Structure formats: C-alpha cells, structure tokens
Amino acid sequence: MASGLTVVVPAFNEEASLREAITILLASVGGLGIPLEVVIVDDGSTDGTGEIAENLAHDVGPVRVVHHGVNQGWGEAVRTGIANAKHEFIVLSPVDNPVTGPQMVTFLEALSGADIVIGYRLGRAGYSPWLALASRCYYFLVKYAFDLPFRDVNWLHVYLKTVIETIPLRLSGIVFPAEVLAKAHRRGYKIVEVHSEMRARTVGRPTVSRPRVIAKAMADLARLWLEVRREARRG
C-alpha cells in the first residue's frame, strides 16, 4: 500500500457536474505535494456519467473509474471505492461538494495519532428548511441510538485504509457513514472531529431528499441498531 491519498467519489447520474467537480478537486488537492488518486465509482448511472468519468480518466491524470452495472446505493459505491484504493489515506468526497486542498490539510494533520477523522458542519448550505430539519433529526436519531459523542455523522470522512478494512460494513445506502462511526466507536478506534463547512449544491437535486432514499435510510438504521445490540450482548 502506497503512502498517499485516495479520494473516493461516488457518482450516480451526475453528468451535469462531475467534470467540473473532479477538475476543481484535482486543482486544489493536487497542489498538496502528496501522491494522489481519484477513484470515481459510477453507481449504475443512466445518463452520461460513466462516459464522462472515463473521459476524465483518459484526459486529466490520476483518475480511475469503477462501474456498477446497476445502481447499488451510495454506501455500496463507497465500499467499492475503498476496495480499489491504492493509498493509505482514504477520503470520501461527494460530487456536489468536492474536497478542497485546505480541507485536506486540516484532515491529514488531524490524522496524526487518529484512525478516522470526521468533518462537522455548523450549517447546511443550500438545504431547504425541510431538508435542514430532516438532517438535524437524522443526526439526533443516530447520535442517541448509537451513543455517539460527535457533532456530525454524515459529512466528510477520512480513513486509514488499514483501519476501515477491519470494520465489517454491510449497508449500501446513505447510512454508511453512521455505520462506520457506530462500529468504529464501539471497537475503540480513535475518531477525531474537525470543522469543515459544506458549499451549496449548484446543479441537481440532493439524493438524500428522495422519499425512497429516506425510507431505505430508516430501514437501514433499524438493521444497524439490531446488529449493534446483538454485538453488545455477545460482549
């Protein structure tokens, strides 16, 4: 495993913004002077996302693409990206908020002595009042269901590859970051928080706002809660 940074970018029907997001990401993070790769996971897109991703891999350097034949969910796309990562540090970067160089400096500095670094937001830029309320409700539900001491559970994460590979992760949807935190916290891994604000999405609709995504998230949370309780009973 090489010393450097793998940026995992799950993408589902992001043809309107993928090229700009990756270009911005490479321009900003690429200037840090550390080995870098971007792994785009085309999660069964039905628009031109897959073709754009392949063109990026051909045109702009350290970009690789993995395709899912059908849409499998954000968490499954992240797991695919992690499985294909070549470097020791892994960051999850959404298309609508590509990670920046200054953010990565903060995260990587915090990784000294930590296993996982998570970002926390003070606001929800670009969210409608309904979506902001739903986001806060989701946060408190996860926080108290799994006794987590963190200020955010669903934002930018940076993992040590050797750590994330030891955690049994099963969920395929947007609950994936909460699953990581619930299981890593229970196993005693050191998790550090850093302040990292989001930017308002300029194109498209947030996946999390779709009713079927919300319904799946609630079902996945229930499954995760039962799994964690069973683990706790076994000691």
pLDDT in tens, 108-134: 999 988 999 999 988 887 778 888 888
Q: Name the β-bridge partners of 5.
A: 36, 89
> Residue written as tokens 């200020």?
151
pLDDT in tens, 59-108: 987 999 999 999 998 889 999 999 999 999 999 998 988 889 999 999 99
The secondary structure of the chain, three-state, reads CEEEEEEEEEECCCCCCHHHHHHHHHHHHHHHCCCEEEEEEEECCCCCHHHHHHHHHHHCCCEEEEEECCCCCHHHHHHHHHHCCCEEEEEECCCCCCCCHHHHHHHHHHCCCCCEEEEECCCCCCCCHHHHHHHHHHHHHHHHHCCCCCCCCCCCEEEEHHHHCCCCCCCCCCCHHHHHHHHHHHCCCCEEEEECCCCCCCCCCCHHHCHHHHHHHHHHHHHHHHHHHHHHHHC
Residue 207 has pLDDT above 90, yes or no: no
Tokens of 90: 């892994």
pTM score, whole prediction: 0.88
> Residue written as tokens 């999405």?
201
- The fraction of the chain above a pLDDT of 90, given in percent, is 68
Report the chain's mean pLDDT, rounded to a whole number. Answer: 90
* Domains defined along the chain, listed by start: 2-234 (3.90.550.10)
Residue 146 has pLDDT above 90, yes or no: yes
Tokens of 173: 């949807």
Angle 80-222-44 (CA atoms, 0-180°, nearest 5)?
30
Q: What are the C-alpha distances in Å from 191 to residues 1, 32, 211?
A: 22, 23, 31
